[in-house]
Structure 1
Amino acid sequence: MITRRQFFQMAASAAASPLLPGVSLAAQEGASVLATGSQTNVLQAVIVPEPAGWVAGLNISNPAVIVSVNLFDGLVTYDDAFRPVPQLAQSWEESADHRTITFHLRKDVKWHDGHPFTSADVQYSLMEVTKRVHPRGGATFATLDAVDTPDDHTAAFRFSSPVPAVWSALGGYETQILPKHLYAGSQPLTNPLNAHPVGNGPYVFKEWVRGNYVVLERNPDYWDKANQPHFARIVFRIIPDEGTRLTALQSGDLRYAPTDAVSLPDLARLRTDPRFVVSSHVFDGVAPISFLDFNLRRKPFQDLRVRQAFAHAINRDALARVVWYGLAKPAEGPIPSYQTRFFKPGLPQYAYDPAKAEALLDAAGLRRGEGGVRLRVNNLPLPFGNQYVLSAQFIQQQLRHIGVELELVSTDVPTFNRRVYADYDFDTTINWYAAFADPQLGVTRRYWTKAIKPGSTSSNATGYSTPEMDRAIEGLVSVSDPVARKPFIDQLQQIAQEQVPSVNLLELHFYAIHAASLGGFSSTPMGAYSSLASVRNT
């Protein structure tokens, strides 16, 4: 059994296992100039890592969403019980057969460029962006046939069959409404505005100095007079080094760190420090699952026995305990076990069994050769913090015991997205996706043929495509009755565990840190994906 000390000793000596590169700390020097004014009007935060763009409706990475929700409102927001509350839609009604939802939009909302917000923006965003290029939108809105716009402030969603899950997806963190007058006629994924968004929310995008910081400023024309932003400016600093982030938090230079800010040993210490509040509840609704993806376009992984061998070679209990300090538990499938409405007990499992893994590789014709090596493949760890590199190093060591050499390839976020989601230039990855409150939102994209969308991040990168899985997914997205829907959700989980296009590794527990001198943070299960308009000094 590997202890934490043994693992980190091995990781430190693994010169062939490069860590991900970061931006030079010298690039942080300019960030100090942004601390103009007292803490009463500037909120200094940190974001990890730097994404390729800031429009969450197109780039759904964690950092992009956390910043973007301050720029864009959703049709609805949510209360502490995760019930929809009016936002851009001031009211709505649902037809008796649940096939039509008519939203009545606010008339006092403007885009940050002064252009009025209308139902045309909603229609364009849902039909041309969310359904077509959003990695989760195709499944969530699979049965959305049209958005009717009888006038500028009415948007009627017409479904061929009801979609109960849609009510969990209408917030600005997920189904983002974009300005049609600035996006129509362009390729949404490559529109230059993704680097300088024009939204309609409480903060206006001011500046992005790559590798250094992003500045948002209070929207003086924000429509919600009862929830005007407290801070005049939010500065999201981009600080690649964990130690530097910790020092900045402890000194008070940083007051908010929404995710992946410090090492897990340091997190344990901050939890007992009265100067800080550490919360994981604000990520409960995200329901993150980590996994090892195979590129099924590569010949070795087209053999089920090879994929099963990898699964048996990984001690997921030790991975959770040693690398993640207990802030994780082994995943039993693609849906978190605590989502009891959907989770299927008794799924096929792959116990840690190196001998069985070796037998499977022998049977697949991958016998040990020179130096005892059977197979050499690469792995791209998600560049979202050191935990994913450490996870990859842990798995690298375990695969070496069964004769598999795993070369770790360091990337930044744009390179990772290009290689994994556009060029499909990888053998394996270490990654995580949000499962969200319903598998239709976050799970189906990993396995559905229709979710193979080149260039769309966090979509089906493996290339996995089978008729039986597609039938299960198309059943669960088209059936609204919970009883009739459950067998399709069960089939998805069963097939995913039997065919192993990914090894489901861990159910993760993310955390956010803020100074105890701040209050007003959202306490909902999606709190980390809520705007900071209500955050203020206490």
Structure 2
Amino acid sequence: MRAARSLAALGTLAAGLALAQAPAPQAAPAAAGTPPKVLRYAFPTAETGFDPAQVSDLYSRTVTPHIFEALYQYDPLARPAKVRPLTADGMPEHSADYRTWTVRLRPGIYFADDPAFGGKPRELVAADYVYTFKRFADPAVRSPAWTWLAQFGFLGLEGLRDAALKDKRPFDYDTPIEGLKALDRYTVQFKLAKPAPRFITGALAGSDLTGAVAREVAERYGADIPAHPVGTGPFVLKQWRRSSLIVLERNPAYRDVRYVAEPAPDDAEGQALLARFKGRRLPMIDRVEISIIEENQPRWLSFLQQQADLIEALPPEFVNQAMPNGKLAPYLAQRGLQAYRNKRSDVTVTFFNMDHPIVGGYTPDKVALRRAIGLALDIESEIRLIRGGQAIPAQSPVVPNTWGYDPAFKSENGDHDPARAKALLDLYGYVDRDGDGWRDMPDGSPLLLEKATQPDQVSRQHDDLWKRNMDAIGVRIRFKPAKWPENLKAARAGTLMMWGVGGLAADPDGLGTFQRFHGQQIGGQNMARFKLPAFDAIYDRLDAMADGPERNALFDEARKLAVAYMPYKAHTHRIATDMAQPWLIGYRRPVFWQDFWQYVDIDAAAQQARMQP
């Protein structure tokens, strides 16, 4: 999230950066006789669906912002990130206390054609965003992002949700509320219960979640809406075989949107991309084909065999082969392959279910157990042996490249110290009481950890390292494998003891990291089910406070509490090595956002020539 004091400056910048948009009945398809421009690559994990209100996984949320559009977006080339209008007509107006935000929509934006509209063009209007935000509160939608949205305190929204739950009746979308209003056809207003200086980046600039959904579409398809995404964005869903293949095609009704960006003056790569693409109509490609290839070796081989144009986050076991000493291997360079290395705005963690009778709880003995497990984990070995050196150890859960991240911060979280782990366990009574060689609980009952995992090769490597690390301190552990979507569902329901996940920043503010610790977000982002009043008080102050030295000091307090109670063991901040075929032009890894397909081009003739047997 960006500082409140800079919003005026952002508005000035955005006025010059806004994409040129005008009503247009058709987006230009590939010229007759020319091959279509097709981007092909693979996800390492299966998607869950394409309804923004119902998805929380990274891969589904990579698809949705290419179909749906929020009010604002991030400049594709600006580093650090800059916000600019997408469907909004200029930057928002806000009250002095940051509780009221008013946005004017650009007229003449239309949803993609769908039977739900009865064969008539359907214009995007302010009421669509009112409906979109209300859907998160509808109990029938079961949105995992509700706890995230609820923190903004839209006046009257939680009351609508409570009424539906209490009376066991359908959510009342037609009752007007103060917090979400369509002032006229093109003006939407948000009123919040508390100040939100970063509301624009926190809620309005995220097409993966708050892209506009039409009520007619949601009501027509009901429970099947994840398979029928209909938005105003540059692509439409053409084909979907669950956990196998996702195909998107250029939206033929997409308006006239041109490539405009503002890279930093000293950003040579960004300046070159701007010079090449400035003024080009978006999207520049015709089709996107995504396969689901969960195992690393087949995904890498698919890329080497030119069955994919891009491989994101090259599997660690192949990094040294492809990039020895940080340089592209000669045999790959001869093929014209392109390599990109970036420090990701992410963190990998293991969460402990704070409601679980073994690893949960807030008493000193329970805290000691979690801290001992954390100290026993050999993160350097994880980075070297499993991640191929493509990560740095995390000192706290706060994500790099965000407000609140301090590269100089050092804590116990970054230590590997089995001797100290053993001493902690001994001190709090986790000793071998029955002589079987394994530690027991202080009351004499068995101490057995159970960690959820996935049935793939990389997960098995992680499991092996965990087993060695736990054996070294005399703690038994077993692993419960399941598919990733199944583990996600169980984690949100609070039925897992432990599970390892990754978190990617969704905006420039480090407060997003602490959603995982916020008591109001249990069942959503807070998989650990951590609830500590002292931490919640800090979170609420951080949320309402403008950026500056005082807020940075408060971030330090939050980091220390997070490490001390350790509901999450932060492992690493990953480094991504992406590789592309020579005919893919314009790729640049996004920092906080997920959409980039509309900003890349394909040399289709070169692609087809290289692919000939």
Q: 1:493 to 1:39 in 2, by over 3 A?
A: farther
Provide the C-alpha distance between the structure 1 equivalents of 2:145 and 2:102, rounded to a whole number of angstroms: 25
- Give the Å deviation of 1:337: 5.8
Deviates more, 1:372-381 or 1:91-100: 91-100
Q: 1:69 to 1:96 in 2, by over 3 A?
A: closer
2:541 is aligned with 1:475: yes
Q: Is the 8 A contact 1:433 1:442 kept in 2?
A: no
| Partner residue in 2 for 1:279 | 340
| Partner residue in 2 for 1:163 | 197
- Give the Å deviation of 1:130: 7.6
Deviates more, 1:292-301 or 1:213-222: 292-301
Provide the C-alpha distance between the structure 1 equivalents of 2:242 and 2:380, rounded to a whole number of angstroms: 38
Q: Is the 8 A contact 1:92 1:101 kept in 2?
A: no
Provide the C-alpha distance between the structure 2 equivalents of 1:390 and 1:361, rounded to a whole number of angstroms: 26
Matched letter for residue 530 of structure 1: D
Mapping for residues 142-291 of structure 1, pairs under 5 Å: 142-145=152-155, 146-159=179-192, 160-164=194-198, 166-167=200-201, 169=203, 170-183=205-218, 191-226=223-258, 227-259=281-313, 262-266=315-319, 268-269=321-322, 271-272=328-329, 273-274=332-333, 275-281=336-342, 284=344, 287-291=345-349
- Give the Å deviation of 1:157: 2.5
2:441 is aligned with 1:445: no
Q: Is the 8 A contact 1:333 1:497 kept in 2?
A: yes
- Give the Å deviation of 1:363: 2.9
| Partner residue in 1 for 2:369 | 306
- Give the Å deviation of 1:103: 1.6
Q: What is the SS of the residue equivalent to 1:356?
A: helix
Q: 1:491 to 1:186 in 2, by over 3 A?
A: farther
For the aligned residues, what is the CA RMSD?
2.9
Residues 324-365 of structure 1 show CA distances to partners (whole Å, capped at 9, x for unaligned) of 122111111111466575438354446322122122223333
2:121 is aligned with 1:49: no
Provide the C-alpha distance between the structure 2 equivalents of 1:293 and 1:74, rounded to a whole number of angstroms: 31
2:148 is aligned with 1:76: no
Q: 1:405 to 1:58 in 2, by over 3 A?
A: same
Q: 1:141 to 1:86 in 2, by over 3 A?
A: farther
Q: 1:254 to 1:412 in 2, by over 3 A?
A: same
Matched letter for residue 532 of structure 1: W
| Partner residue in 2 for 1:30 | none
Q: 1:414 to 1:467 in 2, by over 3 A?
A: same
Matched letter for residue 287 of structure 2: R
Deviates more, 1:156-165 or 1:239-248: 156-165
Q: 2:566 aligns with which of 479, 497, 500?
A: 500
Matched letter for residue 276 of structure 1: L
**What is the total number of aligned residue pairs between the two structures?**
488
2:435 is aligned with 1:428: no
- Give the Å deviation of 1:134: 4.8
Q: What is the SS of the residue equivalent to 1:44?
A: strand
| Partner residue in 2 for 1:378 | 450
Provide the C-alpha distance between the structure 2 equivalents of 1:511 and 1:131, rounded to a whole number of angstroms: 40
Q: Is the 8 A contact 1:137 1:441 kept in 2?
A: no
- Give the Å deviation of 1:185: 11
Residues 288-346 of structure 1 show CA distances to partners (whole Å, capped at 9, x for unaligned) of 11111111222222311111110111122222222212211111111146657543835
Q: 1:400 aligns with which of 448, 471, 477?
A: 471
| Partner residue in 1 for 2:483 | 412
Q: 1:137 to 1:165 in 2, by over 3 A?
A: farther
- Give the Å deviation of 1:180: 2.9
Matched letter for residue 115 of structure 1: R
Q: What is the SS of the residue equivalent to 2:488?
A: helix
| Partner residue in 2 for 1:362 | 426
Contiguous gaps of at least 5 residues in structure 2: 1-32, 115-120, 156-178, 259-280, 440-446, 604-613
Provide the C-alpha distance between the structure 2 equivalents of 1:334 and 1:470, rounded to a whole number of angstroms: 16
Q: Is the 8 A contact 1:440 1:477 kept in 2?
A: no
Provide the C-alpha distance between the structure 2 equivalents of 1:262 and 1:107, rounded to a whole number of angstroms: 44
Matched letter for residue 237 of structure 1: S
Q: Is the 8 A contact 1:291 1:503 kept in 2?
A: yes
Provide the C-alpha distance between the structure 1 equivalents of 2:464 and 2:232, rounded to a whole number of angstroms: 43
Provide the C-alpha distance between the structure 2 equivalents of 1:488 and 1:168, rounded to a whole number of angstroms: 19
What TM-score results when the alignment is normalised by the length of structure 2? Answer: 0.73
2:517 is aligned with 1:465: no
Provide the C-alpha distance between the structure 2 equivalents of 1:473 and 1:448, rounded to a whole number of angstroms: 7
- Give the Å deviation of 1:62: 1.7
Provide the C-alpha distance between the structure 2 equivalents of 1:393 and 1:54, rounded to a whole number of angstroms: 34
Q: 1:328 to 1:448 in 2, by over 3 A?
A: same
Q: Higher relative contact order at CA 8 Å, sep ≥6: structure 1 or structure 2?
A: 1
Q: 1:435 to 1:524 in 2, by over 3 A?
A: closer
Provide the C-alpha distance between the structure 1 equivalents of 2:61 and 2:320, rounded to a whole number of angstroms: 23
Q: 1:463 to 1:168 in 2, by over 3 A?
A: closer
- Give the Å deviation of 1:120: 1.4
- Give the Å deviation of 1:439: 4.7
- Give the Å deviation of 1:212: 2.2
Q: 1:151 to 1:522 in 2, by over 3 A?
A: farther
Q: Is the 8 A contact 1:379 1:408 kept in 2?
A: yes
Q: Is the 8 A contact 1:77 1:171 kept in 2?
A: yes
**Identity percentage of aligned residues:** 20
- Give the Å deviation of 1:177: 2.7
- Give the Å deviation of 1:399: 0.7
Matched letter for residue 229 of structure 2: P
Q: 1:484 to 1:126 in 2, by over 3 A?
A: farther
Q: 1:324 aligns with which of 355, 363, 387?
A: 387
Provide the C-alpha distance between the structure 1 equivalents of 2:224 and 2:320, rounded to a whole number of angstroms: 37
Residues 395-445 of structure 1 show CA distances to partners (whole Å, capped at 9, x for unaligned) of 2211111112221222112211222112x2222111111244445552122
Residues 200-233 of structure 1 show CA distances to partners (whole Å, capped at 9, x for unaligned) of 2111112211232111121100023433333332
Deviates more, 1:49-58 or 1:345-354: 345-354
Q: 2:554 aligns with which of 451, 464, 488?
A: 488
Q: Is the 8 A contact 1:69 1:173 kept in 2?
A: yes
Matched letter for residue 480 of structure 2: V
Provide the C-alpha distance between the structure 1 equivalents of 2:552 and 2:146, rounded to a whole number of angstroms: 20
Q: What is the SS of the residue equivalent to 2:89?
A: strand
Provide the C-alpha distance between the structure 2 equivalents of 1:174 and 1:64, rounded to a whole number of angstroms: 10
Q: 1:126 aligns with which of 133, 139, 158?
A: 133
Q: Is the 8 A contact 2:375 2:417 kept in 1?
A: yes
Contiguous gaps of at least 5 residues in structure 1: 1-36
What TM-score results when the alignment is normalised by the length of structure 1? Answer: 0.82
Q: 1:115 to 1:371 in 2, by over 3 A?
A: farther
- Give the Å deviation of 1:476: 0.9
Between structure 1 and structure 2, the one with the greater Rg is 2
Provide the C-alpha distance between the structure 1 equivalents of 2:35 and 2:591, rounded to a whole number of angstroms: 28
Q: Is the 8 A contact 2:236 2:251 kept in 1?
A: yes
